[in-house]
Amino acid sequence: MDIKKFRGSRTCGGGTHKNRRGAGNRGGRGKAGGCKHHFVRAMMRGYSYGKHGFKRPVEVSKDISIVNVGELDELAPYLVEEGLAEVKDGAYHINLENLGIEKVLGSGRVTKNLVVTSEEFSASEKFMF
């Protein structure tokens, strides 16, 4: 509440003059009592205590370049023009290892015949071919 509303009242809404002294009147300073007498306050504000989950080591995680099969379907004619793919027997032959793409995902619509060479394929992508 605005302090202006309390002008003229001796303790500005704080009860008696004794109630404004020290940290004992508010149950301690900072995070005191977070797991004890202030636990309800912590729960209402959404604090979370303890450890949650884990962080994968940097050595284990790797960034790989990906492409969706729907994007390949759209880009196939342009890749042929650039000389990065070729048409054989009515199908587009695309070697993604030459393009620096490591994994193919199965999202998107396929309207052309595609023969794709890559290091990895997602499970949904393997099902399509």
Cβ-count burial 37-64 (b if 16+ within 10 Å, e if not): ebeeeeeeeeeeeeeeeeeeeeeeeeee
Please report the pLDDT score of residue 126 as a whole number: 63
Domain 3-45 has CATH 3.10.180.10: no
Q: Mean pLDDT, the chain, as a whole number?
A: 89
Q: Check pLDDT > 70 for residue 9.
A: yes
Q: Helix, strand or coil for residue 5?
A: helix
Model confidence at 34, in pLDDT bands (50, 70, 90)?
confident
Q: Where are the alpha helices (DSSP H) in the chain?
A: 39-45, 69-82, 96-99, 123-128
Domain spans of the chain, in order of start: 3-45, 66-128
Model confidence at 35, in pLDDT bands (50, 70, 90)?
confident
Backbone angles phi, psi at 93, to 5 degrees: -100, 115
* pLDDT > 90: percent of the chain: 50
Task: Please state the separation of Cα 22 from the chain's center in Å.
Answer: 43
Q: Check pLDDT > 90 for residue 46.
A: no
Q: What is the pLDDT of residues 70-120, one digit of tens each?
A: 999 999 999 999 999 999 999 999 999 999 999 999 899 999 999 999 989
Please report the pLDDT score of residue 125 as a whole number: 65
Q: Check pLDDT > 80 for residue 10.
A: yes
- Residue 78 half-sphere exposure toward CB, CA atoms < 13 A: 5
Q: Check pLDDT > 80 for residue 62.
A: yes
* pLDDT > 70: percent of the chain: 95
